[in-house]
Amino acid sequence: MTSVSMPESRTAARRTMPAVDWVLALALLAVGGAVVRALLYTPADAMLGAVQRILYIHVPSAIQGMYVACTIMAVCGGLYLWIKDERLDRIAESAAEVGFVFLTVVLATGSIWGKSSWGTAWAWEPRLTSALFLWFVVLSYLILRDALENREARARLSAVLGVLALLLVPFIHMTVYLFRGLHPEPLALKPGKPDMSAEMLSTFLIANVAFMFFFFALVRVRYQWATVRDARAALEQA
């Protein structure tokens, strides 16, 4: 039995979820600004030409989708297994879904860049294959959550999978050092100075900040929606 009636719940949902999310709108503006800077005010690479500008969406998407989303999935999942707070499960779920979108962008833009620079859209080389494997692991995380009816079991099993997904990330990062393949070594996430001109580096950093803002704005909206969804499900059960 609950003390919250359905109309009250609708009012609460509208208060929690405004029709226009201003944080997301600001994040979109930031990403738009970074894209304009990348396309119009940053020089093209002398060897690869204009296609090198894909770097400013490919790498920030990879950082958010691989490093940030998987870390949130694993940390929140691990903490959920320990303290059983449903908010942690919702944060992990939201980060996984948004991270999956970013990983899809990484694979798509990487294929387009590869087609131009390597002459092939896909090669079964270590970095690409391991990134695709992570994409499937995150997809299976989302499918697993959808398949399980019991909320406690869903949260517990997906938390375990989230922790396991993070184990892949250092391996994917190291593939370019451990194996010989087509994918170049990191330009920025490496010991020493980045291999870029000052203009390219500033655009790259701006794009990273903008994409991080965009990622967290999306996770925020997704989390709010999950909170309202779970509250409604609890009400309906009661």
Partner 1 sequence: MSIARHDSTARQDNTALQVNTALQDSTARQDSTAQVPAPVAPRTGPPDTSYYMKLGYIVAGVIFFAYIALLMRRVATVRKAP
Phi and psi at 213, nearest 5°, equal -60, -45
Q: How far is the CB of 45 from partner 1 (least distance, A)?
A: 7
The binder of partner 1 chosen from 23, 71, 86, 116 (CB under 8 A): 116
Q: How far is the CB of 127 from partner 1 (least distance, A)?
A: 18
Contact 227, 16 (CB under 8 A): yes
From 11-19, 72-80, 143-151, 187-195, span contacting partner 1 (CB under 8 A): 11-19
C-beta closer to partner 1: residue 151 or 232: 232
Q: How far is the CB of 108 from partner 1 (least distance, A)?
A: 5
Structure tokens at 170: 């250092």
Contact 65, 102 (CB under 8 A): yes
| Contact flags string 117-156 toward partner 1, x per CB under 8 A | x---------------------------------------
| Contact flags string 205-224 toward partner 1, x per CB under 8 A | -------------x--xx--
The binder of partner 1 chosen from 30, 34, 42, 53 (CB under 8 A): 53
The answer to whether residue 113 forms part of the interface with partner 1 (CB under 8 A) is yes
Contact 131, 103 (CB under 8 A): yes
Residues found near partner 1 in the complex (CB under 8 A): 6-7, 10, 13-14, 17, 19, 21, 24, 28, 35, 39, 44-54, 57-58, 61, 98, 101, 104-105, 108-109, 112-113, 115-117, 218, 221-222, 225, 228-229, 232
